């Protein structure tokens, strides 16, 4: 019986009051950090959906993936693809920010840019 008591006492850790409050403070800090990260994730998600909610592009299945298309067709419009609608929206947002050179089109000349700016204003 004494051996059982001895082994139990060796494995049992006594926490003093200072250790208790320190551990509780750490837990509260971790909870606060997780809550802050969760709120940031919600803000980022809303920002990712902002462009789609403004432009209202077509979202459809194209073959074995989802497509988000702004424009008449994939060749002339801006599109994004993904395994889920959300991933397709992320890809669409990346495509929105790509330059024309990355799409294999020449960059517009200064005169074309100026004409477009005047026409848009």
What pTM value is reported for the model?
Answer: 0.55
Would you list the DSSP string of the chain?
-HHHHHHHHHHPPPPPHHHHHHHHHHHHHHHHHHHHHHHHHHHHHHHHHHHHHHH--EEEEETTEEEEEESSSTTTSEEEEESSHHHHHHHHHHHHHS-GGGGTPPPPPHHHHHHHHHHH-
What tens digit of pLDDT does each residue of 43-97 get?
888 888 888 888 999 999 999 999 999 988 888 889 999 999 999 999 999 988 8
Closest CA relative to residue 98, chosen from 82, 84, 79: 79
What region does 63 belong to: left with phi over 0, alpha with psi -120 to 50, or beta?
A: left
* pLDDT computed for residue 10 by the predictor: 47
What tens digit of pLDDT does each residue of 4-32 get?
555 554 445 566 777 777 777 777 777 78
Angstrom distance (rounded) from CA 70 to CA 52:
9
* pLDDT computed for residue 51 by the predictor: 87
Closest CA relative to residue 45, chosen from 97, 99, 93: 93
Enumerate the domain spans of the chain: 14-56, 57-121
- How big is the CA angle at 40 (ends 34 and 46), to the nearest 5 degrees? 140
């Amino acid at each position: 019986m004494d051996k059982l008591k001895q082994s139990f006492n060796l494995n049992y850790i006594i926490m003093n009051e200072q250790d208790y409050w320190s551990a509780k403070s750490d837990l509260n800090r971790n909870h606060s950090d997780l809550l802050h990260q969760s709120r940031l994730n919600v803000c980022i998600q809303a920002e990712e959906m902002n462009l789609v909610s403004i432009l209202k592009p077509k979202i459809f299945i194209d073959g074995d993936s989802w497509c988000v298309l702004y424009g008449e067709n994939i060749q002339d419009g801006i599109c994004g693809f993904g395994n889920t609608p959300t991933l397709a929206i992320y890809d669409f947002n990346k495509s929105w920010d790509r330059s024309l050179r990355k799409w294999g089109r020449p960059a517009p000349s200064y005169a074309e840019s100026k004409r477009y700016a005047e026409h848009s204003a």
